[in-house]
């Protein structure tokens, strides 16, 4: 049964305690060793780790065009249609994020500007394991494509038959992925960061993974850029007494089934609703094929918080800063401006989190573990870099010469000043 906390009786600090923080110390050394080995031995190391961790000895790492076409053809037509519809919505939303370069022309012929350029190669990690995430392919690859990335390199662990999920390969074809490799875990991140005989070195790595993948991304950051260190999945449902407890329970369980460390939280203004949702969660748990995972998540990290009113509920939501925030009330836009910290906000009683996961269009790669306080969902911005340019005539430089010299002298950087004044010496 989900734990219920009444804000009138329980200290806020107790309510906000997170029980799903992963301790990476036990895997740091192992991941560092894998990265070093892949740097030294390249493909040979990757093939060895694939055999060790995924139980299959591959003869080649790259997925062939024939394998992609075979997988695509094997998928149900309605599944392909659904992926295409999702891709269309994702493209429509992310196309609005494109930034333009600009130029400013000033006095005396000065020219200032900013160039927005795509990175050349992006690496996309797609998890294997208990769920095949075709949706993650679309959400990560399509913004890269829109940004103008010329090479999108997807890595994902193979099954024991040496094959990649047909759904993942179909999504990769739809999204325009250029290279696909049968690699998972820390060894895949190392291969993307440093390159091997088969796998190209990329400029940025995006996509979620397990603790080994997260630690590896942290360790290679600096050699390459990364999107974020993603924690376990989270949902916070903000509901009033008019909410349907059956729907609320289903929404909470939609995240609980992801991972034993996932966090599902209800914040409401009614003890009656809290108790009904707790009962309904228990009933629906028994119906889930992934009951064991979802139950472990609910028992360890699930909670129901009863606030005095919905505005106190909003305060609690902002403090938790959840990955997904549902506002299950009849007039959700009343509360939208008050929400300051959330990865993605789902408004009203007919916008379940799964809508955003799969089809609506906004990205589902979102900040977790409270990092929505300062970070944002994956976007086209993640796949571009910006550089500025400056042009001054001699007359324009003369007008600001003394200002530059004054600041340089204050900072005791004489060579800086001289690089300006020397241009005006006889």
210-257 pLDDT, tens per residue?
Answer: 899 999 999 999 999 999 988 889 999 999 999 999 999 999 999 999
Under the banding of pLDDT at 50, 70 and 90, the label for residue 35 is very high
The predicted model gives 54-74 an average pLDDT of 96
- Are 306 and 5 spatial neighbours (Cβ–Cβ below 8 Å)? yes
Nearest to 363 by CA among 379, 374, 383: 379
For residues 366 and 377, give the distance between their C-alpha atoms in angstroms, rounded to a whole number.
Answer: 4
The three-class DSSP label of residue 315 is: helix
Q: Which of 31-35, 94-98, 230-234 has the lowest mean pLDDT?
A: 230-234
Q: Residues with Cβ < 8 Å from 324, sequence gap 6 or more?
A: 233, 234, 235, 236, 255, 342, 343, 344, 346, 353, 356, 366
Measure the CA–CA gap between 46 and 187, rounded to whole angstroms. 6
Q: Is the pLDDT of residue 18 over 80?
A: no
Supply the pLDDT for residue 131.
60
**Is the separation of the CB atoms in 216 and 31 below 8 Å?**
yes
State the pLDDT confidence band at 21, using cuts at 50, 70 and 90.
low
Closest CA to 141 of 131, 150, 132: 150
Interval 11-36 mean pLDDT: 81
Alpha-carbon distance values, 328 to 243, 268, 339, 384 (Å): 6, 10, 14, 36
Mean pLDDT of 78-106: 97
pLDDT at 22 over 70: no
| Helix, strand, coil abundance in the chain, percent, nearest 5 | 50, 15, 35
What angle, rounded to 10 degrees, do the helices at 25-41 and 43-54 form? 140
Alpha helices (H) along 96-228: 134-147, 166-175, 185-194, 211-220
Cα–Cα distance for residue pair 178/124, rounded to 1 Å: 11
Q: For residue 223, what are its two tokens?
A: 């050699």
Q: In sequence order, what DSSP letters do the residues of 39-88 get, joined into one string?
A: HHHTHHHHHHHHHHHHS---S-SBPPHHHHHHHHHHS-HHHHHHHHHHHH
Predicted local confidence at residue 257, as pLDDT: 94
Dist. CA 179–CA 202, nearest whole Å:
12
Cα separation of 240 and 269, whole Å? 6
Q: Residue 49: what are its φ and ψ, rounded to 5°? A: -70, -35
Q: Which pLDDT tens digit goes with each residue over 151-191? A: 999 999 999 999 999 999 999 999 999 999 999 999 999 99
> CB neighbours (10 Å) of residue 290?
16
User: In the prediction, which pLDDT does 24 show?
Assistant: 78
Average predicted confidence (pLDDT) for the chain = 95
H helix runs in 100-210, sequence order: 134-147, 166-175, 185-194
Task: Map tokens 């306080």 to a residue.
Answer: 373
Record the pTM: 0.93
* CA atoms within a 13 Å half-sphere pointing along the CA-CB vector of 336: 10
Distance between CA atoms of residues 18 and 3, nearest Å: 14
DSSP letter (8 states) at residue 379: -
pLDDT of residue 364: 96
Residues 6+ apart with CB under 8 A from 253: 264, 281, 284, 285, 288, 294, 298
Report the pLDDT value the prediction gives residue 11, as an integer from 0 to 100.
Answer: 74
Percent of the chain predicted with pLDDT > 90: 90
Are the C-beta atoms of 177 and 63 separated by less than 8 Å?
Answer: no
Residue 306: how many CA atoms within 13 Å on its side-chain side? 18
CA distances from 228 to 46, 77, 157, 220 (A): 24, 34, 20, 12
pLDDT score, position 118: 98
pLDDT at 8: 81
Q: Please, are residues 329 and 243 in contact by the beta-carbon 8 Å criterion?
A: yes
Measured distance CA(359)–CA(410) in Å, rounded: 56
On the question of pLDDT at 128 being above 90, the answer is no
Residue carrying the six token digits 């196309």: 95
Question: How far, in Å, CA of 388 to CA of 111, rounded?
Answer: 11
pLDDT at 389 over 90: yes
- 75: pLDDT strictly greater than 90: yes
Q: Report d(CA 90, CA 85) in Å as an integer.
A: 9
Mean pLDDT of the region 377-388: 97
pLDDT one-digit tens code per residue, 273-300 = 999 999 999 999 999 999 999 999 999 9
pLDDT band at 20 (very low <50, low <70, confident <90, very high): low
Residue 104's contacts (CB-CB under 8 Å, 6 or more residues apart) are: 111, 112, 113
Mean pLDDT for the stretch of residues 371-393: 97
Which residue numbers are catalytic?
A: 323-324
95 DSSP β-pair partners: none
């Amino acid at each position: 049964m989900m734990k219920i906390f009444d804000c009138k009786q329980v200290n806020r600090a107790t309510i906000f305690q997170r029980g799903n923080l992963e301790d990476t110390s036990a895997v740091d050394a192992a991941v560092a060793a894998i990265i070093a080995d892949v740097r030294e031995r390249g493909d040979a190391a990757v093939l060895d780790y694939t055999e060790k961790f995924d139980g299959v000895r591959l003869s080649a790492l790259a997925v062939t065009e024939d394998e992609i076409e075979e997988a695509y053809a094997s998928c149900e037509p309605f599944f392909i249609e659904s992926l295409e519809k999702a891709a269309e919505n994702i493209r429509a939303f992310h196309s609005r994020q494109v930034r333009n370069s600009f130029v400013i022309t000033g006095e005396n012929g000065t020219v200032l500007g900013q160039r927005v350029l795509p990175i050349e190669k992006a690496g996309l990690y797609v998890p294997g394991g208990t769920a095949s995430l075709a949706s993650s392919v679309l959400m990560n690859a399509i913004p890269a494509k829109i940004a103008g990335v010329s090479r999108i390199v997807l890595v994902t662990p193979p099954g024991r038959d040496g094959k990649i999920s047909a759904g993942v390969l179909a999504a990769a074809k739809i999204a325009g992925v250029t290279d696909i490799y049968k690699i998972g875990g820390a060894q895949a991140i190392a291969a993307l960061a440093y390159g091997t005989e088969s796998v190209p070195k990329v400029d940025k790595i995006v996509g979620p993974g397990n603790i080994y993948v997260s630690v590896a991304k942290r360790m290679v950051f600096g050699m390459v850029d990364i999107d974020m260190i993603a924690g376990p999945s989270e949902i916070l449902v903000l509901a009033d007494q008019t909410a349907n407890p059956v729907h609320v329970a289903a929404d909470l369980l939609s995240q609980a089934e992801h991972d034993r460390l996932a966090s599902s939280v209800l914040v409401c203004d009614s003890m009656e609703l809290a108790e009904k949702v707790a009962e309904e969660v228990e009933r629906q748990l028994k119906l889930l094929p992934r009951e064991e995972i979802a139950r472990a998540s609910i028992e360890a990290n699930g909670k129901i918080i009863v606030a005095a009113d919905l505005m106190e509920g909003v305060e609690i939501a902002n403090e938790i800063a959840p990955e997904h925030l549902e506002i299950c009330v009849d007039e959700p836009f009343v509360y939208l401006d008050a929400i300051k910290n959330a990865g993605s906000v789902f408004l009203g009683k007919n916008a379940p989190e799964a809508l955003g996961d799969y089809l609506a269009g906004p990205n589902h790669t979102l900040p977790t573990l409270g990092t929505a306080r300062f970070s944002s969902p994956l976007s086209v911005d993640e796949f571009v870099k910006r550089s500025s340019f400056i042009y001054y005539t001699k007359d324009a430089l003369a007008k600001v010469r003394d200002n530059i010299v004054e600041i340089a002298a204050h900072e005791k950087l004489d060579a800086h000043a001289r690089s300006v004044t020397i241009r005006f010496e006889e």
